[in-house]
Amino acid sequence: MAYQRRKSRPVWVGNVQIGGDAPIVVQSMTTADTRDPEATLRQIHELADAGCEIVRLAVPDRVAAAALPEIVPYSPVPLVADIHFEHTLALKALDAGIHKLRLNPGNIRKPEDVREVVRKAKERGVPIRIGVNFGSLPPMTREFVDEMAAQNATHTELIAEHMVRTALGHVRILEDLDFGDIVISLKAFEVPVMVEAYRRMARLVDYPLHLGVTEAGTPKAGAIRSAVGIGTLLAEGIGDTIRVSLATDPVEEVYVAYEILKSLDLRQHGATLVACPTCGRVEVDLFKLANEIDEYLKTIKEPIKVAVMGCVVNGPGEARDSDVGVAAGRGKGVIFRKGKIVRKVEEQEIVPALKEEIQLVLAERAAG
């Protein structure tokens, strides 16, 4: 492990452990309508195939809750029901065998309703994630604002502390009912706020932390925002499970999540592509080459490093350092496998040649 991890208590979501000594778990959420079990299951399978280890579903109403018995038993990965306000939906989700609830007990009006949900979750060994988002915070009290002002808190610190205390309020409700299978998230769009909130929470409790930047945005900007926010915390050893939120197909979220974990050397997953940015020296259509190989690599589950380099000046070094690589130049490509030149091919043969070499490396590995 590259970083000293904050110690957290293990929580089991079905057969997947979050926290303790478990690797950082990758989660995502379906965008399909939960009321349509077929479409939802199709998406769950797509997410699981991409490496998603836990999938969350919105359960906004009774029809969605009634569809859960047609979804949960057929899912290849543990599922989380995202529920707001209505405790009956949580009870239905538990009856359907859901593996985790995302629910803020303080938002359920009657204490006896909370007790009923917590009792059932405990009986079934189902954990609860308390998820406080910047967008749905309760108003701050005058005393709290004064207290923070007395500490000369910045605006970021004020919001972060408000998020932490709001989450702790929900946590206390569960703890008072002797429930400890808790995961906490404190998401915000503003990266400094979420980083500060998680840092503060990490010092106060040992519950596993679910990291995320909310409404991070379109794939490009959102991936960067998530990488900065989630990556900063992971590099400090904070965080046990992550969800990247992007305004696109959630499968993309899983790819980005693994790229974050791979860049910090926290998880090995699938292939890693090294591609040079190109410069005035480039002599082949490198972007096309890199994109074609990138698409192909998405189909590969085993860890393998592939380099696509644009010239013979800096290319060979990186290509040699990878499992498979090409240093291209003057319409040709020098193909490397495990540090050795294995062949020289014409530009149009580079992609098929790389694919063959990748398969060779994987076959050699499988043979032991």
Binding residues for [4Fe-4S] cluster: 276, 279, 311, 318
Q: How far is the CA of 26 from the CAs of 254, 269, 273, 327, in angstroms? A: 7, 11, 20, 34
- Segment interacting with ligand SF4 (CB under 6 A) among 72-80, 117-125, 247-255, 272-280: 272-280
d(CA 255, CA 24): 14
Residue from 58, 126, 276, 334 in contact with ligand SF4 (CB under 6 A):
276
Is 273 in contact with 56 (CB distance < 8 Å)? Answer: no
Nearest to 353 by CA among 361, 345, 341, 365: 345
- Segment interacting with ligand SF4 (CB under 6 A) among 35-43, 152-160, 198-206, 274-282: 274-282
Shortest Å distance, C-beta 283 to ligand SF4: 8
Shortest Å distance, C-beta 224 to ligand SF4: 21
Looking at the Cβ atoms of 248 and 314, the one nearer to ligand SF4 is 314
Nearest to 20 by CA among 10, 11, 32, 30: 10
Residue from 313, 343, 344, 359 in contact with ligand SF4 (CB under 6 A):
313
d(CA 178, CA 167): 17
Token digits for 273? 């592509």
Token digits for 179? 């429930």
Contacts with ligand SF4 by CB under 6 A: the residue count is 12
Contacts of 7 (CB under 8 A, 6+ apart): 206
Residue from 311, 319, 324, 350 in contact with ligand SF4 (CB under 6 A):
311
Strands 340-346 and 332-337: antiparallel
d(CA 318, CA 306): 9
Shortest Å distance, C-beta 286 to ligand SF4: 7
Is 293 in contact with 354 (CB distance < 8 Å)? Answer: yes
Dihedral pair phi/psi, residue 11, rounded to 5°: -130, 135
Residue from 119, 172, 220, 281 in contact with ligand SF4 (CB under 6 A):
281
Looking at the Cβ atoms of 277 and 368, the one nearer to ligand SF4 is 277
Shortest Å distance, C-beta 315 to ligand SF4: 5
Residue from 282, 341, 342, 360 in contact with ligand SF4 (CB under 6 A):
282
Is 209 in contact with 201 (CB distance < 8 Å)? Answer: yes
- Segment interacting with ligand SF4 (CB under 6 A) among 97-105, 253-261, 311-319, 356-364: 311-319
Residue from 78, 212, 315, 333 in contact with ligand SF4 (CB under 6 A):
315
Looking at the Cβ atoms of 118 and 284, the one nearer to ligand SF4 is 284
Is 53 in contact with 47 (CB distance < 8 Å)? Answer: no
Burial class (CB in 10 A: 0-12, 13-18, 19+), 123: exposed
Total Cβ atoms within 10 A of residue 45: 16
Is 31 in contact with 262 (CB distance < 8 Å)? Answer: no
309 in contact with ligand SF4 (CB under 6 A): yes
Looking at the Cβ atoms of 267 and 320, the one nearer to ligand SF4 is 320
334 in contact with ligand SF4 (CB under 6 A): no
Token digits for 305? 């490093």
Looking at the Cβ atoms of 10 and 331, the one nearer to ligand SF4 is 331
Shortest Å distance, C-beta 250 to ligand SF4: 33
314 in contact with ligand SF4 (CB under 6 A): yes
Residue from 110, 139, 146, 277 in contact with ligand SF4 (CB under 6 A):
277
Q: Scanning the structure block, which residue is given the tokens 């959420």?
A: 29
Binding-site residue positions: 276, 279, 311, 318
279 in contact with ligand SF4 (CB under 6 A): yes
Residue ranges binding ligand SF4 (CB under 6 A): 276-279, 281-282, 309-311, 313-315
